[in-house]
Amino acid sequence: MASNDLSGILPRVVIVSRRSVRKNKFVDFVGEYHLDLIVAYGAVPVIVPRVSGLHMLLNSFEPIHGVLLCEGEDIDPSLSDSETSGLSPEELDEIRKLHASDTAIDTEKDSIELRLAKLCLERNIPYLGICRGSQVLNVACRGTLYQDIGKELSKKLPENQRIMHINYDNYDGHRHMVKVVKNTPLHRWFKDSLEEEKMDILVNSYHHQGVKRLPQRFVPMAFAPDGLIEGFYDPDAYNPEEGKFIMGLQFHPERMRRPDSDEFDYPGCPSAYQEFVKAVIVYQKKLKSTTSVPKPLKLNQEMEKKRKIIVRSFSLARNLYSTGSDINPSKESELQAGAEFLESNTALSIQQEKRLKQMGATVRNAGSYIERLKQNEERERLARNIMGKKSAEQLVDLLSFYHMMGKICSEVLEKKLHGIVNDLGS
């Protein structure tokens, strides 16, 4: 395949690793079942390591055609506006001891994953959240979490309604019942395994946190007997055939395997990954069709003549600037073509204007350009002062906003530049 032929490249699904300590060293990993299923259905997983500062470098992983976020530590309570005031210091200490592997907050992983979740919501990039990933999606949309289901939810319920959501003595084998909501994707995937009246399936469970308040944009797909939401999706952003998929599942369908076997508990278990990758593939095709590189413009004879006149004008101005000589009256008409082009072109950046001024083509407007450059330096100083006072979350939101604005500006600028060339040819 030629290096410039992108048609054969598989769509990219970004997955953030989880950090642990092994032999006194940090190790980043992603569960193999996630990777196997992504590859099996036609996409390639791109693992984002949990490295300090990486949340500022996510543009380096573009193009992103899908995001899968899965297991990990508890999300920092301060990011979800979750109330912990109802828990006593003794209860919080008990939670930390009981769930020691989860309660060690990983702020860098939080920053990376929340940034990716918000990117998906802004661009409609397919998103599948499993376990912690479903909680990240909920928090990214300003939902809240139970900091500990056992302390906040179960203690309010009668004994027969309480559910064990994590069992360290039977970690992978533990299951509890969930009721599937009709006419949801989860219902369609598991309908062959459901009894029409009961609508129940058994799911695995590895969590002590969970969705408390679900934002209005989402619709629940399953509930545990204690009322905890076990799955949700955005119906306005769900249509795999059109490249749309925004969903969170609290359980792990990829791990719902029969003992000592790779065979799934239910035929519908891999469907979340299958439909997710289907959406990812379509999203990649749509992205290619909207961001294809335009072919170089072919200038007709008349436009080529005008182009040469403008180039000659800039070349003459550069020579005058570098030699410091006076303008020959006979050459003034040649300089005029370049000056007129600059006056009509309002799409130049400050850097471009500064460079052209140095070439001599914009000498007569040098004063105004210098003034604009000074204003820009003052604005930058003020901006740095303001940004230094903002929180990390506010800065992440601003970066997301300006990334979107930059994309829009690029598209508008391209149209304007095409318009300038067309005007030259008319």
Tell me the C-alpha distance between 154 and 195, whole Å: 27
Q: Which helix (H) or strand (E) holds 22?
A: strand 18-22
Tell me the C-alpha distance between 223 and 149, whole Å: 14
Does 131 qualify as catalytic in the annotation? yes
User: Which residues, at least 6 apart from 34, have a Cβ–Cβ distance to it below 8 Å?
Assistant: 15, 45, 68, 70, 130, 254, 273
Does 252 qualify as catalytic in the annotation? yes
Q: Which of 55, 65, 207, 252 is catalytic?
A: 252
Q: Which of 70, 120, 131, 141 is catalytic?
A: 131
The amino acid at 261: S
Tell me the C-alpha distance between 52 and 42, whole Å: 31
Does 73 qualify as catalytic in the annotation? no
Tell me the C-alpha distance between 271 and 285, whole Å: 21
CB 18 within 8 A of CB 29: yes
Task: Retrieve residue 12's tokens.
Answer: 């990219």
Q: Could you tell me whether strands 246-249 and 229-233 are parallel, antiparallel, or unpaired per DSSP bridges?
A: antiparallel
Tell me the C-alpha distance between 318 and 359, whole Å: 4
User: What's the CA angle centered on 166, arms 106 and 255, to 5 degrees?
Assistant: 85
- Give the 3-state secondary structure of residue 29: strand
Task: Retrieve residue 76's tokens.
Answer: 């920092």
CA dihedral 300, 302, 303, 304 (to 10 degrees): 80
Q: Which of 254, 269, 275, 353 is catalytic?
A: 254
CA dihedral 208, 213, 217, 223 (to 10 degrees): 50
Catalytic residues: 131, 252, 254
